[in-house]
Amino acid sequence: MSLNILKSLSMSDTILERIILEIPKPETESTGNVFHDLLSCVIEQQIHYRSTKKIFQKMLNAANLENLAPDNFVSFEEKAFGNSKVSMSKYETINGILEFWQTNQIDWKSISDDKVVSLLSSIKGIGKWTIDMILLYTLQRPNVFPYDDFHLKQIMVNLYGLNRETKLKAQMLEVAHYWGENKSLAVLYLLAWKDFNKKQIGIRLN
């Protein structure tokens, strides 16, 4: 993590500056597996390493799998879907993902953000939030701002005094404008700040 990036974010946003000084740098996880993480987002409505319910992880455990891929999906489906409730719309999206992988071979790490968006949005049921999660966590792109993320909305409303009732997206984008092309790191700090404070409250209560 470049100190110049941290310095730039701190100078552009006093609230973010305080957070950067207050908490440890966020440690991000990545499977590097777009297929795996897409299925996580669709099934659990959350990328699995941000999840508290661990639905997707429990399904992987039931199938005795660590990483999901098209060639082991049949086993996953047979062993994990029996005890899990998956809606018809989710199942259709899952089938769409499988069909896409069966007909496309893509080096996700080498293509641009715009190309990732174009390809993934061609799969029925895959929307902006899911694609942002793939860009932010799986591919670890530096300039991602998932303004549709529920937790990020909550955090920014509370920290920046935004009005959730009036053009919230525009207000969030205005704040994020000052982060330049380092929006991903700013977002990760904000999300980490929420988790950090939850843990601190838990420690005090115990």
* pLDDT for the residue 145: 98
**pLDDT attached to residue 181:** 96
Separation between Cα atoms, residue 178 and residue 29, nearest integer Å: 26
Residue 18 near residue 197 (C-beta atoms within 8 A): no
User: Looking at residue 12, which CATH number applies to its domain?
Assistant: 1.10.1670
Q: Is the pLDDT of residue 1 over 60?
A: no
In the predicted model, is pLDDT for residue 17 greater than 90? Answer: yes
Amino acid at 81: F
Threshold 0.85, pTM exceeds: yes
Of 79, 108, 138, the one marking the end of a domain is 138
> Looking at the structure, do residues 53 and 19 belong to the same domain, yes or no?
no
Pick the closest to residue 134 from 58, 197, 64, 42 (CA basis): 42
CATH number at residue 85: 1.10.340.30
* Residue 171 tokens, joined: 């207000």
Residue 204 has pLDDT above 50, yes or no: no
- The reply to whether 130 and 174 lie within a common domain is no
| Whether residue 68 is found in the same domain as residue 85 | yes
Same domain, 98 and 189: no
For residue 43, count CB atoms less than 10 angstroms from its CB and return exposed for 0-12, middle for 13-18, buried for 19 or more: buried
Q: What is the pLDDT of residues 149-177, one digit of tens each?
A: 999 999 999 999 999 999 999 999 999 99
- Same domain for 116 and 43: yes
- Segments forming the whole domain that contains residue 59: 34-138
Number of domains in the chain: 2
Instruction: Report how far Cα 92 is from the mean position of its chain's Cα atoms.
Output: 21
Residue 87 has pLDDT above 90, yes or no: no
Higher pLDDT residue, 200 or 55? 55
Same domain, 85 and 173: no
Among candidate residues 88, 107, 138, the one where a domain is terminated: 138
Mean of the per-residue pLDDT values of the chain: 91
Q: What confidence tens digit (pLDDT) does each residue in 26-47 have? A: 988 899 999 999 999 999 888 8
One domain, residues 117 and 197: no
pLDDT (average), residues 109-122: 98
Residue 112 shares a structural domain with residue 153: no
